[in-house]
Amino acid sequence: MIEFDHVHKRYPERGEALSDISFALAAGEMAFLTGHSGAGKSTLLRLIGLLERPSRGRVVVDGRDLGALPRRQIPLHRRQVGMIFQDHRLLADRSVFDNVALPLQVMGYGHREIGRRVRAALDHVGLLKRERATPVALSGGEQQRVGIARAVVARPPLLLADEPTGNLDPELSREIFELFERFQYVGVTLLIATHDLSLVARMPYRIMTLADGRLVNDSGGW
């Protein structure tokens, strides 16, 4: 599903944020990406979502060589990648329903189909009753679940999460990870950046560790 081939990312003002990263993540796999703050986790995820392009090397997602993808196709690529952020990135002036509906609206779904899918996604994360609320009326854990519902509502085959539990207490974090496990169970590929090591270590999933932009440890794959 994801393939990195000698990928480098250099920021002119900061030097190499990622150096010579190579790995492959199979379809349906769930993996954690850990490492100290500034290790390059977010940068790696941004390359997959095409929010950035590598300075060198090749990134292939779902068979698409991202380097060869014309600009026009970037939006279509992003529709195939659900992204979840630590700060949720919700629209404060729209209801939970409208926030979750956004990807479907963007993709041109009809009214009824949107209603059906949004409710299914909200049901999945246990927020069906809060669809009329605005994000500020929700707790941190609930907001993150809205973010997750938005990421999965269009049923992308790949989910990326950047420190999704960074602001949550252990109990809520565990609930979120359980949610991710359920998606993995139905065949979604997940790559989750986190430094919640204590939680991650107890789960039977692949862990990739970044340090100063290098992949220093990989419990699975090659």
Ligand X SMILES: Nc1ncnc2c1ncn2[C@@H]1O[C@H](COP(=O)(O)OP(=O)(O)O)[C@@H](O)[C@H]1O
Residues that bind Mg ion (CB under 5 A): 42
Residues composing the chain:
222
Cβ(151)–Cβ(49) below 8 Å? no
Q: Which of 23, 30, 41, 177 binds ligand X (CB under 6 A)?
A: 41
Q: Which is nearer to another protein, 59 or 190 (CB)?
A: 59
Minimum CB separation of residue 167 from Mg ion in Å reads: 13
Angstrom distances, CA of residue 37 to CA of 20, 166, 181, 217: 19, 12, 25, 16
Is residue 38 involved in binding ligand X (CB under 6 A)?
yes
List residues binding another protein (CB under 8 A).
49-53, 62-65, 68-69, 71, 73-80, 83, 89-91, 102-103, 105-111, 150, 154
In whole angstroms, what is the distance from residue 130 CA to residue 72 CA?
A: 36
Q: How far apart are CA 82 and CA 104, in angstroms?
A: 12
Binding partner selected for residue 43 from ligand X, Mg ion, another protein, none, CB under the kind-specific 5 to 8 Å limit: ligand X
Report how far residue 220's alpha carbon sits from residue 41's, in angstroms, rounded to the nearest whole number: 17
Specify the residue for token string 């500020």. Answer: 136
Q: From the list ligand X, another protein, Mg ion, none, pick the one residue 38 interacts with, judged by a Cβ distance below 5 to 8 Å according to partner type.
A: ligand X
14 contact, one of another protein, Mg ion, ligand X, none, CB 5-8 Å limit per kind: ligand X
d(CA 183, CA 131): 21
Q: Binding partner of residue 172 among Mg ion, another protein, ligand X, none, CB under 5 to 8 Å per kind?
A: none
Q: Nearest 5°: CA angle at 40, between 37 and 46?
A: 120
Nearer CB in complex with another protein: 76/137: 76
Residues that bind ligand X (CB under 6 A): 11, 13-14, 17, 35, 37-43
